[in-house]
A and B are shown apart, each in its own frame.
Chain A
Amino acid sequence: MFPLPACVTMLETFLALSRILTGVENLDPELGRQYLDRLTSTPFGPVLRQILERFSKLKNNATLANQVRQKILSNDTFRPAVCQIILLWYTSTMQDNPQTPAAVRYGTQEEYFSGLAWQVIGAHVPGLSGGYFGHWRYRPDNEPLENP
């Protein structure tokens, strides 16, 4: 369940949508603000506003995730921006131009080291293991899918 409060701000709406897209509940609001700023300053900005407007009109109940799939993810116009939101949270990368997906840009160091994809695969962000010598010999301590 990702309860959608009676949210009013764009950031809160963005965070609520992001929880459903990433599957991660405890998203950092400050990172969310940074990602929202990055998105709105790119060609994704106008469509993002449409997505958030559409999202805010969905019913806040147990079917919310399915509604997102049907009303947002299935929309060919919306899907590249949806992918971009997930890429930001998972890897901190931004495709500046949806027409050239190979050209990506990272944000701040904090954003890079906060990428969620690595936890999902039981790894760590490259450059910061936080582990001890030899930990790679064993299965990961953070077995994936346990509330990354």
Chain B
Amino acid sequence: MKRDFDVIVVGAGVAGAMVAYKLALAGAHVLILEAGNRNPSRAQMVGAYATAPAKTLHSPYVQAESDAKASSPDVSITYYDQPPAPHAQYKSTYERRTGGSTWHWLGHTPRMLRSDFKMKTRYGGGPGFPPAFVDWPITYDDVETWYCEAEREMGVAGSDQEWNGLFDSPRSKPFPMSMIWPSYSDTWIAQRINGKKFAGAEYRVRSTPSARNSELYDGRPPCAGNSICVPLCPIGAKYDGAVHVAKATAAGASLWEQCVVTKLDKDKDGSVHTVHFLTYGGVSQTVTAEVVVIAAHAIETPKLLLMSNVGNKSGQVGKNLMDHLSKSTFGIAPEPLFPFRGPPSTSGIESFRDGEFRRKRAGFRVSLNNDGWSRKGAPYTEIVDFVTNKKLIGADLQEALFARVTKQIRLSCSVEVAPDPGNRVELSTMTDALGLPRPKVTFTPPQYSLKGLAQATKTLADMFRLIGATEVDLGVDGAYDGAGHIMGTCRMGSSPKSSVVDAQCRSHDHSNLFIVGSSVFPTVGSPNPTLTIAALALRAAQDIGRQLGIRMKPRI
């Protein structure tokens, strides 16, 4: 039977865009279906951000029609149907638009470690080790060359000297660009903590690899340090998924926006060729392809599979929703460090990501940040305080502001979340503007991860002590923020009985259905997930091409 397309990709984020680009480049007839819309011009978005009353993740992207018809938790956190506080909350959100949530990501691209792929074998078996931890069906070595390719495609700046061999995780190729320079603050802190030890590990400040240009790369300019990577790079120096959407369409892929996929049909032979979608006007349409790729991240992907009753013979769809537990802590340095300049974070500490302690508690990354106490309202709250309470004006006000704000430090952590089948996405009885079920989300941080969060907080306290900070604010014990790293819900594994996709991101149940993106992560380690998303998507594209009998372009 003649299908409309060789491949339909559902979702125009970084994973879908990578797959579409590689297959279109190889000659496949590709369609991308995107629920959201494309953005207005970058200049218009910067203007929207400048005038927005609250500088939220969504503030540059507000568009009435797509916000209503392809709503998301970025538009309104109540898009999630989840038990109200005091029940624990799932706090990470996403955009539904062309290019996906990479529009407002920070751009950090650390790799997963060798051990992150083998948690059960490496650390399992003892008390305190969550039983849902599994090994990936692939190893670091299986993914390593794809990491290199993802770094080249996205344009990653980093220091090979600092990162090659980290925790037995070697690099076979150098970063495409030299590192994003550390901030004045990073260097000052590094001088005071490098080489010192805490909990058996040694502090070492490293420049964080980032999909952010340190030179002209792929037609995009070097970073100018405009400081609002989150929610929007004003000049396109930071990579986002729209880069590969444009490459995919230039290679011949079709992009249909404002098309909200509602259902996948199973054929009698178990294959999935037919995709139903709704336009914003409510018109239902159908399109077919030899291969269907779902790239709608870890919330909308399981939602679609559950709505379609597809790919879930294992019963695992929607289960093991994860994130990273994030926490910000604050202090005042003994001298000016000049925050509010450069990317929001340029360096971090990797020393606490791995070790025998992971038998009982989670590993974590530490980030050094360049945004002062902006999360506590700086410099607005200081201005109000100095004028209203201290009655300062003119040069006195300037001196007080300088003395206070230039010394503000924020240190943060990002803690591994263990898989737990009770943390899950289901279909809500509540519906969106198109009448589709909204995601019902249940999430409670595992004790394993809360222990990691407690240890991370102690580590941050020790760092503040070493640098002589005052007015240290470690926040509330056990309190956490979302990291924006939505992962899990369609776990990869070898067994069809216990996992949703195989090592190639192919559905165990339907041989022509692929799932790409962070939903396939069975475990997550502590790194930011986007580079792994891109690497796995590129790897899956190779297998999809092979399945279609397409000769893929050779990798560089």
- Which A residues are closer than 8 A to B by beta carbons? 20-23, 65, 68-69, 73-74, 79-80, 82-83, 86-87, 90-91, 93, 101, 103-109, 112-113, 117-118, 120-124, 126-140, 144-145, 148
Contact = CB atoms under 8 A, between A and B. Distances in A.
B398 A129 contact: no
Interface in B349-404: 370, 379-380, 383-384, 387-388, 391, 393-399, 401-402
Contact of A117 (B224, B370, B401): B401
A20 to B, nearest CB: 6
A79 B184 contact: no
A140 B51 contact: no
Interface of B: 46-47, 49-53, 55, 181-184, 187, 214-215, 222-228, 234, 336, 338-343, 346, 370, 379-380, 383-384, 387-388, 391, 393-399, 401-402, 405-406
A139 B184 CA distance: 7
Contact of B399 (A104, A134, A139, A145): A145
User: Does more than half of chain B's interface fall in helix, strand or loop, or is it mixed?
Assistant: loop
Nearest to A108: B51
Contacts of B340: 118, 121, 123-124, 126
Nearest to B391: A73
A127 B394 contact: no
Nearest to B393: A21
Contact of B397 (A74, A86, A101, A112): A86
Contact of A120 (B234, B388, B402): B402
15 contacts: A69-B393, A79-B387, A87-B380, A109-B50, A121-B406, A122-B406, A123-B227, A123-B340, A124-B340, A127-B46, A128-B234, A133-B224, A136-B183, A136-B342, A138-B184
B406 A137 contact: no
Contact of B51 (A65, A107, A135, A145): A107
A60 B387 CA distance: 23
Nearest to A136: B342
A112 B51 CA distance: 7
A126 B226 contact: yes
Given A23-B394, A107-B51, A124-B227, 10 more contacts: A82-B387, A83-B384, A117-B379, A126-B55, A129-B225, A133-B225, A134-B214, A137-B182, A140-B338, A144-B402
A22 B380 contact: no
A118 B211 CA distance: 27
B505 to A, nearest CB: 36
Given A86-B383, A109-B47, A123-B338, A65 B226 contact: no
B50 A23 contact: no
B18 to A, nearest CB: 26
A123 B341 contact: yes
A123 B182 CA distance: 16
A20 B387 CA distance: 13
A20 B396 CA distance: 11
A145 B402 contact: yes
A130 B226 CA distance: 8
A24 to B, nearest CB: 8
A144 B387 contact: no
B226 A128 contact: yes
Nearest to A91: B380
A147 to B, nearest CB: 11
Contact of B341 (A21, A79, A140): A140
Contact of B398 (A103, A123, A148): A148
A106 B394 contact: no
Given A80-B388, A136-B341, A126 B225 contact: no
Contacts of A91: 379-380, 383
Contacts of A83: 383-384, 387-388
B53 A104 contact: yes
B387 A131 contact: no
Contacts of A106: 50-53
Contacts of B225: 129, 131, 133-136
Nearest to B182: A137
Contacts of B401: 117, 120-121
A114 B183 CA distance: 24
Contacts of A21: 393-394
Nearest to B396: A23
Given A137-B184, A145-B402, A82 B380 contact: no
Contacts of B51: 106-109, 112
Given A86-B397, A106-B52, A136-B183, A127 B227 contact: yes
Contacts of A130: 224
Contacts of A82: 387, 393
B346 A136 contact: yes
A66 to B, nearest CB: 10
A135 B338 CA distance: 11
A107 B384 CA distance: 18
Nearest to B387: A83
Q: Which of A87, A113, A129 has the most CB of B within 10 A?
A: A129
Nearest to A119: B398
A120 B226 CA distance: 17
A93 B383 CA distance: 12
Given A87-B380, A112-B51, A123 B339 contact: yes
A107 B409 CA distance: 29
Top 4 nearest A-B pairs (CB, nearest first) are: A136-B342, A123-B340, A23-B394, A112-B50
